[in-house]
Amino acid sequence: MISYQTDGIEMPSIEQQKTTEWIKSVAATYQKRVGEIAYIFCSDEKIIEINRQYLQHDYYTDIITFDYCEGNRLSGDIFISLDTVHSNAEQFGNAYMNELYRVIIHGILHLCGINDKGPGERQIMEAAENKALVLLSI
Protein backbone atom coordinates (compact mmCIF):
# COMPACT_ATOMS: atom_id res chain seq x y z
CA MET A 1 0.00 0.00 0.00
CA ILE A 2 1.17 3.48 -0.83
CA SER A 3 -0.10 6.39 1.23
CA TYR A 4 0.22 10.10 0.55
CA GLN A 5 0.31 12.47 3.51
CA THR A 6 1.30 16.02 4.30
CA ASP A 7 3.01 17.64 7.24
CA GLY A 8 1.97 21.27 7.61
CA ILE A 9 1.49 21.97 3.90
CA GLU A 10 -1.12 21.50 1.21
CA MET A 11 -1.25 18.19 -0.67
CA PRO A 12 0.27 18.53 -4.16
CA SER A 13 -2.13 17.91 -7.03
CA ILE A 14 -0.90 14.48 -8.03
CA GLU A 15 -3.21 11.80 -9.36
CA GLN A 16 -2.72 9.36 -6.51
CA GLN A 17 -4.21 6.23 -8.10
CA LYS A 18 -2.25 6.65 -11.35
CA THR A 19 0.88 7.56 -9.41
CA THR A 20 0.54 4.41 -7.31
CA GLU A 21 0.12 2.24 -10.43
CA TRP A 22 3.16 3.90 -12.00
CA ILE A 23 5.27 3.30 -8.88
CA LYS A 24 4.23 -0.37 -8.86
CA SER A 25 5.13 -0.77 -12.53
CA VAL A 26 8.55 0.85 -12.02
CA ALA A 27 9.21 -1.38 -8.99
CA ALA A 28 8.27 -4.44 -11.06
CA THR A 29 10.98 -3.58 -13.61
CA TYR A 30 13.45 -4.18 -10.75
CA GLN A 31 11.70 -7.42 -9.72
CA LYS A 32 10.34 -5.68 -6.62
CA ARG A 33 6.84 -5.46 -5.21
CA VAL A 34 5.39 -2.62 -3.21
CA GLY A 35 4.77 -3.11 0.49
CA GLU A 36 4.07 -0.25 2.87
CA ILE A 37 5.31 3.04 1.45
CA ALA A 38 4.38 6.40 2.96
CA TYR A 39 5.03 9.61 1.08
CA ILE A 40 5.09 12.60 3.40
CA PHE A 41 5.09 15.94 1.61
CA CYS A 42 6.53 18.66 3.80
CA SER A 43 8.27 22.04 3.95
CA ASP A 44 11.98 22.90 3.99
CA GLU A 45 11.71 23.47 7.75
CA LYS A 46 10.47 19.91 8.31
CA ILE A 47 13.02 18.29 5.98
CA ILE A 48 15.97 20.02 7.65
CA GLU A 49 14.62 18.99 11.05
CA ILE A 50 14.51 15.35 9.88
CA ASN A 51 17.93 15.67 8.24
CA ARG A 52 19.47 16.98 11.47
CA GLN A 53 17.67 14.58 13.81
CA TYR A 54 18.10 11.30 11.92
CA LEU A 55 21.03 11.81 9.56
CA GLN A 56 23.08 14.47 11.37
CA HIS A 57 23.11 16.55 8.15
CA ASP A 58 22.66 20.30 8.41
CA TYR A 59 21.31 21.15 4.96
CA TYR A 60 18.11 21.28 2.96
CA THR A 61 17.32 18.51 0.50
CA ASP A 62 14.42 17.56 -1.73
CA ILE A 63 14.00 14.01 -0.43
CA ILE A 64 14.89 11.75 2.47
CA THR A 65 14.13 8.05 2.14
CA PHE A 66 13.95 5.71 5.13
CA ASP A 67 14.36 2.13 3.91
CA TYR A 68 12.41 -0.64 5.66
CA CYS A 69 12.60 -3.11 2.76
CA GLU A 70 12.55 -6.85 3.32
CA GLY A 71 13.72 -9.03 0.44
CA ASN A 72 11.93 -7.99 -2.74
CA ARG A 73 9.21 -6.11 -0.83
CA LEU A 74 9.68 -2.33 -0.90
CA SER A 75 8.76 -0.49 2.28
CA GLY A 76 9.76 2.90 3.55
CA ASP A 77 8.94 6.44 4.55
CA ILE A 78 9.73 9.03 1.88
CA PHE A 79 9.81 12.67 2.95
CA ILE A 80 9.68 15.21 0.11
CA SER A 81 10.18 18.94 0.61
CA LEU A 82 7.87 20.67 -1.84
CA ASP A 83 9.78 23.93 -1.21
CA THR A 84 13.01 22.40 -2.49
CA VAL A 85 11.25 20.61 -5.36
CA HIS A 86 9.88 24.00 -6.42
CA SER A 87 13.26 25.76 -6.22
CA ASN A 88 15.01 22.87 -8.02
CA ALA A 89 12.43 23.01 -10.82
CA GLU A 90 13.20 26.71 -11.26
CA GLN A 91 16.97 26.20 -11.01
CA PHE A 92 17.02 23.37 -13.59
CA GLY A 93 14.37 24.88 -15.88
CA ASN A 94 11.92 22.02 -15.33
CA ALA A 95 8.17 22.17 -14.88
CA TYR A 96 7.26 21.82 -11.19
CA MET A 97 5.11 18.70 -11.69
CA ASN A 98 7.83 17.00 -13.76
CA GLU A 99 10.34 17.69 -11.00
CA LEU A 100 7.89 16.41 -8.38
CA TYR A 101 7.35 13.12 -10.23
CA ARG A 102 11.13 12.78 -10.69
CA VAL A 103 11.60 13.11 -6.92
CA ILE A 104 8.69 10.76 -6.18
CA ILE A 105 10.31 8.01 -8.26
CA HIS A 106 13.79 8.86 -6.96
CA GLY A 107 12.76 7.56 -3.53
CA ILE A 108 11.45 4.31 -5.03
CA LEU A 109 14.68 3.85 -6.99
CA HIS A 110 16.63 4.21 -3.74
CA LEU A 111 14.44 1.48 -2.25
CA CYS A 112 15.19 -0.65 -5.33
CA GLY A 113 18.88 -0.36 -4.50
CA ILE A 114 20.05 2.47 -6.75
CA ASN A 115 22.39 4.93 -5.06
CA ASP A 116 23.53 8.38 -6.14
CA LYS A 117 26.39 9.44 -3.86
CA GLY A 118 29.38 7.41 -5.12
CA PRO A 119 31.47 7.84 -8.29
CA GLY A 120 29.29 7.46 -11.39
CA GLU A 121 26.17 6.68 -9.35
CA ARG A 122 24.47 10.02 -10.03
CA GLN A 123 24.43 9.28 -13.77
CA ILE A 124 22.99 5.80 -13.14
CA MET A 125 20.25 7.32 -10.94
CA GLU A 126 19.41 10.01 -13.53
CA ALA A 127 19.16 7.37 -16.27
CA ALA A 128 16.86 5.27 -14.05
CA GLU A 129 14.71 8.35 -13.29
CA ASN A 130 14.44 9.20 -16.99
CA LYS A 131 13.51 5.61 -17.87
CA ALA A 132 10.83 5.61 -15.15
CA LEU A 133 9.43 8.97 -16.24
CA VAL A 134 8.87 7.57 -19.76
CA LEU A 135 6.46 5.05 -18.18
CA LEU A 136 4.46 7.82 -16.52
CA SER A 137 1.15 8.31 -18.33
CA ILE A 138 -0.36 11.25 -16.48
- The pTM of the full predicted model, rounded to 2 decimals, is 0.94
For residue 28, the SS3 value is helix
- Position 46 confidence tier, pLDDT thresholds 50, 70, 90: very high
Average pLDDT of the residues of the chain: 95
Q: 119 vs 128, which has greater pLDDT?
A: 128
- Position 118 confidence tier, pLDDT thresholds 50, 70, 90: confident
Q: 39 vs 57, which has greater pLDDT?
A: 39
The CATH number given to 2-135 is 3.40.390.30
Q: Please say if the pLDDT value at position 131 is more than 90.
A: yes
For residue 111, the SS3 value is helix
What was the pLDDT predicted at 82? 98
pLDDT in tens, 62-115: 999 999 999 999 999 999 999 999 999 999 999 999 999 999 999 999 999 998
- Contacts of residue 96, Cβ cutoff 8 Å, sequence gap at least 6: 85, 86, 89
What was the pLDDT predicted at 138? 61
CA angle 23, 26, 27 (to 5 degrees): 85
Whole-angstrom distance, CA of residue 44 vs CA of residue 49: 8
Q: Please say if the pLDDT value at position 16 is more than 90.
A: yes
Domain boundaries, the chain: 2-135
